[in-house]
């Protein structure tokens, strides 16, 4: 695999990992024990830490991409092993 392909796949893993990581540790204003701003939705998070989220996303994406790369190199799971209907 060329390094450009590996980088593009990593970017895809990183962007999809954002949706996995965003809900982790989110507290609403009521759960955090602070007062809501008038007009604020009850479900809105009380703070947003972009740096912490980016670090978590990077860790998750790197682990998932590493598993993908190892599978690519060693061929643990192939298209033939996922052919459950045995359609040839």
For residues 80 and 87, what is the distance between their CA atoms, to the nearest angstrom? 10
**pLDDT computed for residue 23 by the predictor:** 83
Query: Looking at the DSSP assignment, which residues form a beta bridge with residue 28?
Result: 45
pLDDT at 42: 80
Question: Could you give phi then psi for residue 39, rounded to 5 degrees?
Answer: 90, -5
- Tokens for 87, please give them: 């359609």
By CB atoms closer than 10 A (0-12, 13-18, 19+), residue 2 is exposed
| pLDDT of res. 74 | 92
62 within some domain: yes
Residue 36: DSSP 8-state: P
The predicted structure's pLDDT at residue 88: 61
> What is the mean pLDDT of the segment spanning 13-37?
86
* Count of structural domains within the chain: 1
Q: List helix spans (H) across 1-88.
A: 3-21, 29-32, 50-74
How many residues are there in the chain? 88
Query: How large is the average pLDDT for residues 14-20?
Result: 94
Residue 87 included in any domain = no
Q: Please check whether residue 59 lies inside any domain of the structure.
A: yes
- 39 versus 17: which is more confidently predicted? 17
Arithmetic mean of pLDDT, 55-77? 94
Q: Residue 67 — very low, low, confident or very high, per pLDDT cuts 50/70/90?
A: very high
23: helix, strand or coil: coil
The Cα 14–Cα 56 span in angstroms is 10
User: What is the domain extent for residue 68?
Assistant: 3-77
Share the mean pLDDT of the chain: 88
């Amino acid at each position: 695999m060329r390094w450009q392909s590996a980088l593009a796949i990593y970017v895809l893993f990183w962007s999809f990992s954002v949706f996995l990581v965003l809900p982790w540790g989110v507290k609403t204003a009521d759960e955090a024990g602070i007062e809501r701003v008038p007009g604020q939705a009850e479900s809105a998070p009380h703070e947003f830490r972009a740096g912490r989220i980016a670090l978590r996303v990077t860790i998750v994406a790197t682990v998932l991409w590493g598993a993908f790369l190892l599978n690519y190199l060693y061929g643990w799971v192939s298209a033939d092993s996922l052919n459950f209907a045995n359609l040839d």
